[in-house]
A and B are shown apart, each in its own frame.
Chain A
Amino acid sequence: DIQMTQSPSSLSASVGDRVTITCRASQSISTYLNWYRQKPGKAPKVLIYGVSSLQSGVPSRFRGSGSGTDFTLTISNLQPEDFATYYCQQSHTIPWTFGQGTNVEIK
Chain B
Amino acid sequence: QVQLQESGPGLVKPSGTLSLTCDVSGVSISSSSWWSWVRQSPGKGLEWIGRIYHSGSSTYNPSLKSRVTISLDKSKNQVSLRLIFVDAADTAVYYCAREVDTGYNWFDTWGQGSLVTVSS
Contacts and interface: CB of A to CB of B under 8 A. Distances in A.
- The finding on whether chains A and B are genuine partners in a shared complex, rather than unrelated, reads yes
Interface of A: 1, 31-32, 34, 36, 42-46, 49-50, 53, 55, 87, 89, 91, 94-101
B106 A91 contact: yes
Interface of A is mostly: loop
A93 B48 CA distance: 12
Nearest to B46: A98
Interface of B is mostly: strand
A47 B68 CA distance: 29
Interface of B: 45-48, 59, 61-63, 95, 97, 100, 104-108, 110-113
Contacts of A95: 48, 61-63
Contacts of B110: 43-45
7 contacts: A1-B63, A43-B112, A45-B110, A87-B46, A94-B59, A96-B105, A98-B46
Given A43-B95, A95-B62, A50 B104 contact: yes
Given A94-B59, A95-B62, A100-B45, A49 B106 contact: yes
Given A96-B48, A98-B46, A91 B104 contact: yes
